[in-house]
Amino acid sequence: MSNEKLKVPIFECHYEHWSEMMENLLRAKQLWGLIDPGIIEPAVGIAQSEAQRKKLEDLRAKDLQVKHYLYQAIDSVTFEQILDRKTSKAVWDSMKRRFAGNERVKKSMLQKLRRDFEILEMKNGESIPDYFGRVLTVANQMRSNGETMPDGKIVEKILRTLTEKYVYVVVSIEESNDIETMTVDQLQSSLVVHEQKFKRGDKEEEQALKMEEGSSSRGRGRGRGSPRGRGRGQGRSSFNKETIECYKCHRLGHFAYECDRSKEANFAGFDENEEVMLMASVEDHVLMARDGEDNKSYIWFLDSGCSNHMCGNKDKFVTFDQSFNTL
């Protein structure tokens, strides 16, 4: 990598962050030895061989390169505050003394970071990568201030603070893995897979709901192939699906056409926001006359108040009082 393309981390008064990145850069360039332990100058009056003098000159040339990187990272104000500029190690140590902070400052910062770490929780609608990013930001700051933060501690924190929809996922992970030895990367990859499954499930549920709404609007208020009954019932009122009893399984909360046992009955679709008429077919224990033929026009109707029983053929009634009406 050429010097022109090398991106040196800029010092912005956050010494721990900057020193970590700069150290990584110098190690990658195989120059960290000029900072730690630094150039060891020969004692005065000690004769050196040609090879030793050449090695020393090579180290001094590389030391100038490291000093160049350090000078690129700091502004003019910081440059003037550096007391000793003879070697790159002297520059590094001077910045560390001035900007690294004392133990009291570190301890105060660590207390704040511990509090921030404890109150972290996943927000509703937040993605797994975003939440991991928030947790790791605080965890890495704690590490730079001297806190011991093994992956196991971060893994336990994340599992403890996920949203409710991940409860069964957390139980599964805890049962099948050793949390203390599990890495943060392993946990994230596992949770991302479950997150994708949740998203697919939400899309399928949304599509099914749209299809159900479309089916209800097409079959609103009338059975297939059945005539509308004459007259009005007394108990007609707004519809609440929670009070509906299925004609097949006799449980509340759904219609017979939604029941797994319903295969033969002909039922109407409903719009939950409108007034409706409930219809029962021959199989639903409603008395009707057939006259020896299978004619679906003789199907009975029941209104939502269950107070009037009506049929489209008046001749099928033994008695019929036309004087009673609700108009």
Residues 60 and 138 in one domain: no
Structural Rg of the chain based on CA atoms: 40
Instruction: Give the C-alpha separation, 247 to 257, whole Å.
Output: 9
**pLDDT surpasses 70 at 164:** yes
| 309 lies in some domain | yes
Residues 169 and 265 in one domain: no
- Of 99, 134, 151, the residue at which a domain comes to its end is 99
DSSP letter assigned to residue 229: P
Residues 50 and 152 in one domain: no
Mapped onto helix, strand or coil, the DSSP state of residue 219 is coil
- Span of 7-16, 18-27, 97-106, 254-263 with lowest mean pLDDT: 254-263
DSSP letter assigned to residue 296: G
| 209 lies in some domain | no
pLDDT at position 239 = 53
> Structural domain of residue 37, as residue ranges?
15-99
List the beta strands (DSSP E) in the chain: 277-279, 301-303, 309-310
Kindly list the strands in the beta sheet with 309-310, ordered across the sheet, starting from the edge strand earlier in the chain.
277-279, 301-303, 309-310
Instruction: Give the C-alpha separation, 262 to 256, whole Å.
Output: 6
| 19 lies in some domain | yes
pLDDT at position 240 = 62
Sequence-distant (6+) residues with CB within 8 A of 254 are 241, 244, 246
Instruction: Give the C-alpha separation, 182 to 252, whole Å.
Output: 46
Higher pLDDT: 270 or 19? It is 19
Looking at residue 141, its amino acid is: Q
Query: β-strands 309-310, 277-279: how paired?
Result: unpaired
pLDDT at position 285 = 41
- Span of 80-89, 250-259, 301-310 with lowest mean pLDDT: 301-310
pLDDT at position 42 = 78
- Of 170, 201, 232, the residue at which a domain comes to its end is 201
| 168 lies in some domain | yes
If one counts the domains in the chain, the total is 3
pLDDT at position 47 = 77
- Of 152, 168, 201, the residue at which a domain comes to its end is 201
Higher pLDDT: 326 or 193? It is 193
Higher pLDDT: 157 or 272? It is 157
Whether the model clears a pTM of 0.85, i.e. scores above it, the answer is: no
Q: What are the pLDDT digits (tens) for 208-217?
A: 666 666 555 5
Residues 47 and 91 in one domain: yes
Q: Determine what percent of the chain is predicted with pLDDT higher than 70.
A: 65
Mean pLDDT for all residues in the chain: 75
How many Å from the N-terminal Cα to the C-terminal Cα in the chain? 93
| Cβ-contact 66, 32 below 8 angstroms | no
